[in-house]
Amino acid sequence: METRSCASTLSASAAPAGARLEGAKSRLDRLDWYPRPVRVERVRVIVVPALFRLPWFRRFAGYAAWDLILLRRPVAEAGDDLLTHELCHIWQMQHHPVAMPLSYLRHGYVQNRYEREARRAVDTA
């Protein structure tokens, strides 16, 4: 687990990102929504503020894609709830690698079951 910034190849905050990612995993491990717990060994957290200036990404504080979590702000500022929410998306993709991302095309963002589930994970865990 590592944290990257668009300004540097490896941020000094890599260790705190790993600890916070483990904390988010611990929260999700309390839930029995999928047959296997979320695997975080290959998950990377990258801070890319410039990405979130693009029109499609402006509305997001974080974005998950398979084994990658992109954040607008450093992990310490982003907060544990956002990291848990995005890690829940990683967990969903570990079990539904095609259906989960494609669901956004069919159902949109607000009413998407995976989005609702990630919000519920933060509230529950």
Model pTM greater than 0.75? yes
In tens, the pLDDT along 24-63 reads 999 999 999 999 999 999 999 999 999 999 999 999 999 9
Taking residues 92-103, report their average pLDDT.
96
Plot region of 108 (φ>0 → left; ψ -120 to 50 → alpha; else → beta):
left
Burial of 58 (0-12, 13-18, 19+ CB in 10 A): exposed
Tell me which residue has tokens 């919000």: 119
Q: Beta partners for 5?
A: 8, 47
Taking residues 80-102, report their average pLDDT.
97
Q: Which domain holds residue 54?
A: 3-124
Q: Yes or no: say if 40 and 21 are a contact pair by the CB < 8 Å rule.
A: yes
Number of domains in the chain: 1
Tell me which residue has tokens 């975080």: 40
